[in-house]
Amino acid sequence: MTITDTIESEPMLMNKTANEFEEIVGGITAPQGFRASGVYCGIRKIKKDIALIVSDVPANVAAVFTQNKVVAAPVVVDKELLKRGSGTCSAIVVNSGNANACTGEQGMKDAWAMVSATAAALQLPEEEVLISSTGVIGQYLPMENVVSGIAQLPALLSTEGSNDAAVAIMTTDTYVKEVAVEFEIGGKPLRIGGIAKGSGMIAPNMATMLAFLTTDAYMAQPLLQKTFGILVDRTFNRISVDGDTSTNDMASLLANGMSGAPAIKEGTQEYVRFANALEFVLVKLAKMIVRDGEGATKLVEVIVNGAKTEAEAVRAAQSVANSNLVKTAIHGEDANWGRIICAVGYSGIDFVPENVQLSLNGLPILEKNYGIVIDEVKVKEAFANENITITINLNQGSESATFWTCDLSKEYVHINASYRS
Amino acid sequence: MTITDTIESEPMLMNKTANEFEEIVGGITAPQGFRASGVYCGIRKIKKDIALIVSDVPANVAAVFTQNKVVAAPVVVDKELLKRGSGTCSAIVVNSGNANACTGEQGMKDAWAMVSATAAALQLPEEEVLISSTGVIGQYLPMENVVSGIAQLPALLSTEGSNDAAVAIMTTDTYVKEVAVEFEIGGKPLRIGGIAKGSGMIAPNMATMLAFLTTDAYMAQPLLQKTFGILVDRTFNRISVDGDTSTNDMASLLANGMSGAPAIKEGTQEYVRFANALEFVLVKLAKMIVRDGEGATKLVEVIVNGAKTEAEAVRAAQSVANSNLVKTAIHGEDANWGRIICAVGYSGIDFVPENVQLSLNGLPILEKNYGIVIDEVKVKEAFANENITITINLNQGSESATFWTCDLSKEYVHINASYRS
């Protein structure tokens, strides 16, 4: 059994070790050798709208992209750049306010122009650059603004620039999403940092979310990609705001090795430690995205235990997390548990309804054989909490999965009824 | 090719022939030999809450039920009754206000008690009775009220009782859903009538919807079941309010032959005529349910043309119809077409995004190769309409499908945040 197998078989890892890692300030510029900047270039009405992240040396890169069939131009271009390159990346430029999606040939030209402008400004080969866009679909990028933004960004690069970059990638987000941790491997301090943005169109398979991570650890590119893929699948691919998967999603991890610590190799204690730290950062960012879901007032954790397979646990948890009826009931602080078991019922998994147990924030709601044990007073109190955990035990196996979502509020409708205006 | 094949290959039949059938008053009591009643028995706070539909002679029965794994007691009991019986049914009793779902052994006892009380009150064998419940999940039926209701219903039966029954099955519906048509086959007048209720938890695969249909035509039971199944699949299984599939759904059709017209046989002109009329009634009811979706202000018809297979057309249309982002944009009268093509993109079907054409109420929005041809002024005007039709042409085949949904409003959240209160 490789260590990767160990990770794969421990889906609840982070929930067990959530307090193990020390958080530090600095976000993506906390790890050594990374700088970032953000500036306003006029794509949006107000707010910084273009960001740059740079590694002082070419960093090994791992990246995952949307699984939507409709893929935005920057995603197409990034895949091509990664194919042409040698597994490293030195700079990522990201704009908000316009997704450059469904923009045809013009959109492709614009995306390539972003790449060449960034490469020129930083005197890098194009293959060392990645780009990303988020915002409205179906409108051409205002390239004059974009190019002027790219020209300004290098001079603003700073080892304290993570926050500026995090602000610049936000769309309807209401707060900045930035995390960094420090931990030791064999006496050497290592750091992982990340920034992310939501906050609508968040669904499994990368939805409209962007996340950029950095580390000063060193790991060979193929292992970095494999590890990142497994952990994204267990974190960003288990969150849902509205069930919509977007055209632009991307998460990437740059590992530049500038800590000076030796390469992290598969099958070692160091590898497990690094993977745990990375999962910690990814879970933090994932929860931040969901808690900031459009109109959200509560962070909802759906845990399915006792499943035959992890895939079935994921499917059941996802069905509950995507149910508008469950999400509105939680918004109304109403323990309408029938909607929860009903959502498991149509998830497509095979199970015996009579064996299901349900609890809410640790309070039993339903025992086997539909034993209704709800204490309405206590449950009402529990609902006052901003963090709601729904635990579903299928009692037919030993596999588990966690899915994160938010409640569904009138504010969600308000935000999305006039997004383009 | 049988006539059934003909029906199967013509999914758009009703849209072509929508005005062919003459609507008459009378709902489920319009066909000869049917009576109905509805009364208040105290399950709900106010409003009639229990209904009875009776055929004067045993009628051939077709029925379809929810595909949720969590199945309410009345559905379990009905399946058993249909298995025991000889394909006929004389009486259906339906309560609103309580779904008798997730109620374990007690729920099963209560469901059987509903059957025996109804059979006794009408002096029928139990196998001639079907039952149905809708409302809150996870609470026991107040059987004293239910039994008292069943005792009162027979004396109130009337050939003008359809409306009372239609009112009694409503939950959060804001209007009564009742349809009847009259048409001739070989000079003989035939009638089909129906009532239905929504209006949350409406999704494909029968969601929380109940529909009861009657006809005075005669058709052998196996053909009746087959025909009804095909047409329900094309109507009630193509509507969505919130994507949630309920535990209690049921649609049934009683055919008592009391028109005196000869039996309708497969492979005849008469059969096609009858199937068309039945589909007309089902589409009418399906649209009424969606238009009355919780908080809905618009009826949205999603048509996918140019698909390789009908199944793919259904899948794409369903993905668009279930997208909260599409539904909120329509609520806000915002032609955010990127969300539509994005929803097709994550539907799971294979297609070439560059080949897609989009229109809204007949106004072109998007041509091939992302040719954006939207006339914002005209589209804004079109949006003022209560009926919105989104037409998506995939341009890769000749198959089509229609899916019906509604917009997503703040009122939906309001209704569902405190449904149990």
Among B291, B307, B325, residue at a domain's last position: B291
The C-alpha angle with vertex B44 and arms to B39 and B48, in degrees rounded to 5, equals 20
Of all residues in chain B, the one with the smallest CA distance to A69 is B345
Whether the pLDDT of residue A336 is over 90: the answer is no
Q: From CA A384, how far away is CA A253, in angstroms rounded?
A: 37
What ipTM was assigned to the predicted interfaces of this complex?
0.71
Residue range A297-306: average pLDDT? 92
Q: What is the pLDDT of residue B17?
A: 45
Interchain contact, B370 vs A104, CB within 8 Å = yes
Domain shared by B91 and B216, yes or no: yes
Q: What is the pLDDT of residue B14?
A: 40
Domain span at residue B346?
299-417
Query: Omega of the bond prior to B199 within 30 degrees of 0, cis?
Result: yes
Query: What mean pLDDT, rounded, does chain B reach?
Result: 88
From B218, B167, B189, select the one nearest B55 (Cα to Cα).
Answer: B218
Is there a contact between B365 and B379 (Cβ–Cβ < 8 Å)?
A: yes
Residue range A126-147: average pLDDT? 94
Whole-angstrom CA distances from B134 to B43, B151, B167, B173, B207 are: 11, 20, 13, 12, 11
Q: Residue A160's Cα: distance from chain center in Å?
A: 22
Whether the pLDDT of residue A7 is over 90: the answer is no
CA neighbours closer than 13 Å in the CB half-sphere of residue A121 = 25
In this complex, how many residue pairs, one in chain A and one in chain B, have their CB atoms less than 8 Å apart? 206
Whether the pLDDT of residue B280 is over 50: the answer is yes
Q: From CA A19, how far away is CA A283, in angstroms rounded?
A: 12
Q: State how far residue A229 is from chain B, nearest Cα, in angstroms.
A: 20
Nearest by CB to residue A328, choosing from B325, B346, B416, is: B416
Q: What is the pLDDT of residue B355?
A: 94
Domain shared by B278 and B376, yes or no: no
Q: What is the pLDDT of residue B174?
A: 85
Higher per-residue confidence, A401 vs A293: A401
Nearest by CB to residue B419, choosing from A136, A244, A336, is: A336
* Helix, strand, coil % over all residues of chain B, rounded to 5: 35, 25, 35
- The catalytically annotated residue of A66, A88, A172, A208 is A208
Write the single-letter amino acid at A93. Answer: V
Whether the pLDDT of residue B201 is over 60: the answer is no
Domain shared by B331 and B227, yes or no: no
Q: What is the pLDDT of residue A241?
A: 61
Q: Name the band, by pLDDT with cuts 50, 70 and 90, for residue B48.
A: very high
Of all residues in chain B, the one with the smallest CA distance to A418 is B332
Active site residues of B: 208
Nearest by CB to residue B413, choosing from A101, A328, A350, is: A328
Both tokens of B372, joined, read 């954006």
Domain count, chain B: 2
Domain shared by B306 and B397, yes or no: yes
Q: What is the pLDDT of residue A372?
A: 84
Residue range A32-41: average pLDDT? 98
From B285, B314, B106, B170, select the one nearest A354 (Cα to Cα).
Answer: B106
Q: What is the pLDDT of residue A92?
A: 98
Q: State how far residue A420 is from chain B, nearest Cα, in angstroms.
A: 7
Is there a contact between B217 and B259 (Cβ–Cβ < 8 Å)?
A: yes
Residue range B123-147: average pLDDT? 94
Q: What is the pTM of this model?
A: 0.79
Whether the pLDDT of residue B138 is over 50: the answer is yes
Whether the pLDDT of residue B12 is over 80: the answer is no
Whether the pLDDT of residue A284 is over 70: the answer is yes
Residue range B141-166: average pLDDT? 98
CATH for A287: 3.60.70.12
B44 φ, ψ to 5°? -95, 170
Interchain contact, B247 vs A329, CB within 8 Å = no
Q: Which of A95-109, A320-334, A354-368, B50-64 has the highest mean pLDDT?
A: B50-64
Interchain contact, A205 vs B346, CB within 8 Å = yes
Domain shared by B36 and B169, yes or no: yes
**Cα first-last separation, chain A:** 54
- A247 catalytic? Reply is no
Angle of helix B310-322 relative to helix B337-345, nearest 10 degrees, comes to 130
Please give the torsion angle defined by the CA atoms of residues A320, A324, A330 and A331, in that order, rounded to the nearest 10 degrees: 150
Query: What mean pLDDT, rounded, does chain A reach?
Result: 88
Q: State how far residue A237 is from chain B, nearest Cα, in angstroms.
A: 14
Nearest by CB to residue A70, choosing from B105, B324, B342, is: B342
Percent of chain B with pLDDT over 70: 89
Domain shared by B205 and B308, yes or no: no
Domain shared by A146 and A264, yes or no: yes
Q: From CA B46, how far away is CA B29, in angstroms rounded?
A: 25
Whole-angstrom CA distances from B273 to A301, A367, B268 are: 53, 52, 9
Whole-angstrom CA distances from A254 to A88, A92, A98, B358 are: 8, 10, 24, 40
Interchain contact, B345 vs A247, CB within 8 Å = yes
Domain shared by B204 and B154, yes or no: yes
Interchain contact, B69 vs A331, CB within 8 Å = no
Domain shared by B303 and B285, yes or no: no
Q: What is the pLDDT of residue A417?
A: 64
B202 φ, ψ to 5°? -95, 120
Among A242, A266, A291, residue at a domain's last position: A291
Q: Name the band, by pLDDT with cuts 50, 70 and 90, for residue B13.
A: very low
Whether the pLDDT of residue B146 is over 50: the answer is yes
Domain shared by B219 and B275, yes or no: yes
Q: Name the band, by pLDDT with cuts 50, 70 and 90, for residue A253.
A: very high
Whole-angstrom CA distances from B185 to B5, B145, B189, B262, B277 are: 21, 44, 7, 9, 11
Q: State how far residue A279 is from chain B, nearest Cα, in angstroms.
A: 26
- pLDDT tens column, A159-215: 999 999 999 999 888 899 999 999 998 789 999 999 999 865 444 333 468 999 999
Residue range B365-389: average pLDDT? 89
Interchain contact, A137 vs B341, CB within 8 Å = yes
Interchain contact, B244 vs A416, CB within 8 Å = no
Whether the pLDDT of residue B241 is over 70: the answer is no
Nearest by CB to residue A328, choosing from B67, B102, B417, is: B417
Whether the pLDDT of residue A243 is over 60: the answer is no
Q: Which site among B66, B67, B70 would you substitute to test the A interface, given the most A Cβ atoms closer than 10 Å to its Cβ?
A: B70
Whether the pLDDT of residue B177 is over 70: the answer is yes
Q: Name the band, by pLDDT with cuts 50, 70 and 90, for residue A406.
A: confident
- pLDDT tens column, B288-327: 988 887 778 888 999 999 999 999 999 999 989 888 888 8
Domain shared by B232 and B358, yes or no: no
Is there a contact between A69 and B350 (Cβ–Cβ < 8 Å)?
A: yes
Whether the pLDDT of residue A19 is over 90: the answer is no
Domain shared by A96 and A131, yes or no: yes
Residue range B224-236: average pLDDT? 93
CA neighbours closer than 13 Å in the CB half-sphere of residue B182 = 11
Interchain contact, A329 vs B104, CB within 8 Å = no
Residues in CB range of A164: below 8 A, 6 or more apart:
A36, A37, A38, A39, A48, A51, A156, A158
* Helix, strand, coil % over all residues of chain A, rounded to 5: 35, 25, 35
Write the single-letter amino acid at B150. Answer: I
* Chain A residues near residue B342 by CB distance under 8 angstroms: 68, 70, 101, 137, 201, 244-247
Among B250, B269, B291, residue at a domain's last position: B291
Q: Name the band, by pLDDT with cuts 50, 70 and 90, for residue B237.
A: confident
